[in-house]
Amino acid sequence: MIDQLIEAIIQKKSPIVVGLDPRFNQIPQAIKEKCLAEYGETLEAVAAAIKIFNRGIIDAVADEVPAVKPQVAFYEQYGLPGMAAYLDACQYAASKGLVVIADVKRGDIGSTSKAYAKAHLGQVQVGNKNYQGFPADFATINPYLGDDCMKEFEAEIVQEDKGIFILVKTSNPTSGQLQDLVMADGKHLYEKTAEIVAGWNDKICGKFGYSPVGAVVGATYPEELSALRAQMPKAMLLVPGYGAQGGGAKDVINAFDTKGLGAIVNNSRGIIFAYEKIGGDYQEAARKAVIAMKQDINDTLSSVGKQYW
Amino acid sequence: MIDQLIEAIIQKKSPIVVGLDPRFNQIPQAIKEKCLAEYGETLEAVAAAIKIFNRGIIDAVADEVPAVKPQVAFYEQYGLPGMAAYLDACQYAASKGLVVIADVKRGDIGSTSKAYAKAHLGQVQVGNKNYQGFPADFATINPYLGDDCMKEFEAEIVQEDKGIFILVKTSNPTSGQLQDLVMADGKHLYEKTAEIVAGWNDKICGKFGYSPVGAVVGATYPEELSALRAQMPKAMLLVPGYGAQGGGAKDVINAFDTKGLGAIVNNSRGIIFAYEKIGGDYQEAARKAVIAMKQDINDTLSSVGKQYW
């Protein structure tokens, strides 16, 4: 799947993932009104609005980006109807040929992580039948519990051809509270996590030189991004923080290798709610925002001689 | 809610939480067969079996323990029907007067953590109506992203009278890979996390001297447990690892304060699947296992002069 992701990035000339983080109050009024009229003031109305909205976004950007990243928290908060909308986002995106990155940030003891691996990347068996609970291609993983967690995803990575992105250095303001702590050997905690990722990378690697075990490194910390790119040469980097969180193309450029591969940059609010800023139809606005972001990143990659295509 | 939890522990003389981690293959044959006959080899059959099984466990132990802790991964793996069974476990346990600890180990950047807080402890508004997605009293939180996450749970803790348990030192074999790393100042990472917990404890505290911001510290690391008890004197400790993971009463005893309060010990497989070991009806076996665990912990607390009741 890591190879498919990279192939799609190259084919679409677009190292961009669109974050599907629907906030009900920001969904266009017409969609909300239609769903509230049909279902009343219920979670079902919210879920229906999210489904329509997400499908609209996916239709608008599917030929311009290789992947989408639904953030499950924004669905979980709306209970079972919300989770049905999450499932719909995963399935609809896959039906449009997009790679789906489940932003679930799961992580637990071994036997529990096994269940998470099956939930998001694998299958469960019921008698002679197999089912996928919330099917995705990649999942994000929190490393605080150590390798017991990652090991349980290995079966899905190898047998089901899936991948994971391990949180190394996140994009939020207090990410440094634990992640930047300095160890007795002078290294930061995030570098220790990067060592775990690099260890996995040596075990499993795809044809472009990248492993299905990638890392999350925020655009909001460009210096760390540069160091971590060097420390994990086989890790695909999932880079959040571009756009609403404050990162720009110059901040993400060091996530890419010398050929211009090895990274995929996320933008959520800046794309899906672009209509709030630039006006007009939300689908057209999202498409314009994706094309502008693509141009921004490609121009910057080109300016440093890193554009692959 | 922290006061209610401690009051229930005292009233039932039982610092025990039953982990509701249903594994379909371990659910009694009769329940599985009934559900497979009714729903075929489907996720709905699994969910129906889990619902019956969990309700049976809750009925069997409700007067002997103050709380249950459903581990959401075991439900998530069965997709939407699984999540319906998770919701049922939360609601049915609450209807029997039990405190519900959502073992979700969530943690994310601020705006996303806000959504998780609403999902598990709070409410979402749709027009003039409020809904609870997956209602629980406490949720477990992963600290890797720092205080941005915890801050977002503050509204639910204060306004909705809920609580959280932050992962400090987990019970699994590789927990030390990051958590035991030694910092430049000689402290372990888990002690740094404990400092964050202790910081929150100074801000919010209940009538028994315990804060609604507690900590997860595994029974499988008794020395660390002892040190962390001292370092976080106002943190209620949620202690996993007793039973199937290898911890015994002597290992958990240092989680309690000198009065015999301040800790709640989890047991999942050792109680809910006790029938596999001691035979007979699964409900009776679970009840026997809870009573034996209660005796074990109370005897050990008593032997060191720490029994509160």
User: Which residue in the set A73, A112, A170 is minimally distant from B71, CB to CB?
Assistant: A112
The confidence score (pLDDT) of residue B245 equals 75
User: Which residue in the set B84, B119, B186 is minimally distant from A77, CB to CB?
Assistant: B119
Domains belonging to chain B, first-starting first, are 2-303 (3.20.20.70)
User: Which residue in the set B82, B146, B167 is minimally distant from A174, CB to CB?
Assistant: B146
Residues 6+ apart with CB under 8 A from A113: A106, A107, A145, A148, A149, A150, A151, A152, A153, B73
> In chain B, what residues touch A178 (CB-CB under 8 Å)?
143-144, 146, 189, 192-193, 196
User: Which residue in the set A76, A113, A240 is minimally distant from B115, CB to CB?
Assistant: A76
Q: Is the distance from CB of B136 to CB of B98 less than 8 angstroms?
A: no
Structure tokens at B61: 């132990």
A146·B174 Cβ contact <8 A: yes
Could you report the per-residue pLDDT of A44-62, keeping only the tens digit for each?
999 999 999 999 999 999 9
Q: Is the distance from CB of B134 to CB of B184 less than 8 angstroms?
A: no
Per-residue model confidence as pLDDT tens for chain B (309 residues): 999 999 999 999 999 999 999 999 999 999 999 999 999 999 999 999 999 999 999 999 999 999 999 999 999 999 999 999 999 999 999 999 999 999 999 999 999 999 999 999 999 999 999 999 999 999 999 999 999 999 999 989 999 999 999 999 999 999 999 999 999 999 999 999 999 999 999 888 899 999 999 999 999 998 999 999 999 999 999 999 898 777 789 999 999 999 999 999 999 999 999 999 999 999 999 999 999 999 999 999 999 999 999
Could you report the per-residue pLDDT of A136-186, keeping only the tens digit for each?
999 999 999 999 999 999 989 999 999 999 999 999 999 999 999 999 999
The confidence score (pLDDT) of residue A124 equals 97
Show which residues of B are catalytic: 105
> Residue A121: is its pLDDT beyond 90?
yes
Nearest chain A CA: its distance from B222 CA (Å): 17
**What is the secondary structure of chain A as a DSSP string?**
-HHHHHHHHHHHT--EEEEE---GGGS-HHHHHHHHHHH-SSHHHHHHHHHHHHHHHHHHHTTT-SEEEEBTHHHHTTHHHHHHHHHHHHHHHHHTT-EEEEEEEE--SHHHHHHHHHHHTS-EEETTEEE-SS--SEEEE-GGG-HHHHHHHHHHHHHS--EEEEEEE-SSGGGHHHHTPBBTTS-BHHHHHHHHHHHHHHH---TTS-EEEEEEE-TT-HHHHHHHHHH-TTEEEEE--BSTTSB-HHHHGGGS-TTS-SEEEEESHHHHTHHHHH-S-HHHHHHHHHHHHHHHHHHHHHHTT----
Interface A–B counts its CB contacts (< 8 A) at: 225
A175·B146 Cβ contact <8 A: yes
> Residue A243: is its pLDDT beyond 90?
no
Task: List the single residue in A with minimal CA-CA distance to B192.
Answer: A178
> In chain A, what residues touch B144 (CB-CB under 8 Å)?
142-144, 167, 170, 178-179
Nearest chain A CA: its distance from B33 CA (Å): 11
ipTM above 0.90, yes or no: yes
The confidence score (pLDDT) of residue A247 equals 78
> In chain A, what residues touch B80 (CB-CB under 8 Å)?
80, 83-84, 87, 133
A107·B112 Cβ contact <8 A: no
A170·B145 Cβ contact <8 A: yes
The confidence score (pLDDT) of residue B184 equals 94
The confidence score (pLDDT) of residue B248 equals 87
B24·A126 Cβ contact <8 A: yes
Angle between helices B43-61 and B282-303 (to 10 degrees): 50
What's the burial of B11, exposed, middle or buried (CB within 10 Å: 0-12/13-18/19+)?
Answer: exposed
Nearest chain B CA: its distance from A217 CA (Å): 12
**What is the secondary structure of A243-265 as a DSSP string?**
STTSB-HHHHGGGS-TTS-SEEE
A115·B73 Cβ contact <8 A: yes
Q: What percent of chain A lies above the pLDDT cut of 90?
A: 94
Catalytic residue among A13, A105, A192, A306: A105
> In chain B, what residues touch A167 (CB-CB under 8 Å)?
144-145
User: Which residue in the set A109, A131, A189 is minimally distant from B43, CB to CB?
Assistant: A131
- C-alpha R_g of chain A: 19
B178·A146 Cβ contact <8 A: yes
B119·A79 Cβ contact <8 A: yes
Q: In angstroms, rounded to a whole number, what is the distance separating the alpha carbons of residues B237 and B296?
A: 18
> In chain B, what residues touch A173 (CB-CB under 8 Å)?
110, 148
Q: What three-state secondary structure class fits B280?
A: coil
